Amino acid sequence: MGHLPAAVRIVEVGPRDGLQNEKHIVATADKVELINRLSATGLRSIEATSFVSPKWVPQLADAAEVFSTIERRPGVSYPVLVPNEAGYERARAVGADEIAVFTAASEAFNRRNINASIDESLRRFEPVLARAREDGVRVRGYVSTVLGCPYQGEVPVAEVVRVSRVLHQMGCHEISLGDTIGTGTPRAARAMLRAVAAEVPMQALAVHFHDTWGQALANILACLEEGVAVVDAAVAGTGGCPYARGASGNVATEDVVYMLHGMGIQTGIDLPALAATGHWLAARLGRESGSRAGRAMAADAD
């Protein structure tokens, strides 16, 4: 086993990446309560919403209202996703001080997802990054389909490296590497991370695994052994991808935290409070929590 980090920062993506794929519109008040509950668990990074066009993601049409209403705690960051300058302006109008931009390592996925080539998407970000620098706004970059694409299949690692390097050079302080369809396995995840880390500092990298094939925790462990110390996850295992048929939810935050704590890795997160939040959200969504740790904790409590 490689050298594991002493502490890991979890980036909670449930309120955005988790909820955006829900078929039924989640009430604005429930979104606000979810974020406020998550803020009380010790999480330090909670992706609050997305300022994309409501036409494309109707679930997040209330982004401005949600962001304006949440209780923003000191020491907790609330990044929001923005696709372009218009999204950036909407986010800044309600006080967002950390944003995220997104592209893919797959040409086919990018064209289906945002109707642009990889290079076109990167050019779209240039004015956003320039304005963010002027405004002192931190920018996170997402690279999806790093271990496979639903349309083109295999994705060259060289493209993952190239896109990650460009985003970092453009000014993204952190690059999140996403296995959008969850087909990656530990050996491939490790090799991909090593390749990117040869061009982008490991401390600027995060991993984002979906659990479609049940590999997410194994993949996270493989990447922790390589030195990554930032992990994306969604409470109750919510999420998926509207452009990747069959892609199940993100790895559940509760499961990641349980694993990390079991290995003596600090997160600063109150696991029982997090699990309770996951059960609250699952009840609101009308289904069982997607977190195995959360379900086990509930069974023990009965």
Which residues are identified as catalytic? 241
Cβ neighbour number for residue 173 with a 10 Å cutoff: 12
Would you say 235 and 270 are in contact if contact means Cβ atoms under 8 Å apart? Answer: no
Pair of tokens at residue 293: 């740790």
DSSP class of residue 15?
I
Structure tokens given for 271: 């696991």
132: which residues sit within 8 A by CB, 6+ positions away? 88, 99, 138, 139, 171
Query: CA-to-CA distance for 189 and 36, rounded, in angstroms?
Result: 33
* Nearest-5° Cα angle at 111, 108 to 115: 175
How many Cβ atoms from other residues are within 10 Å of residue 25's Cβ?
A: 12
Return the percent helix, strand and coil in the chain, to nearest 5.
45, 15, 35
253 CB contacts (<8 Å, ≥6 apart)? 10, 12, 14, 233, 234, 235, 236, 274, 278, 291
State the Cα–Cα distance between residues 177 and 140, nearest whole angstrom. Answer: 11
What residues have CB less than 8 Å from 111, skipping those under 6 apart? 117
Residue 232's DSSP bridge partners are 11, 208
Question: Using CB atoms within 10 A of its CB, is residue 34 exposed (0-12), middle (13-18) or buried (19+)?
Answer: buried
Enter the DSSP assignment of 1.
-
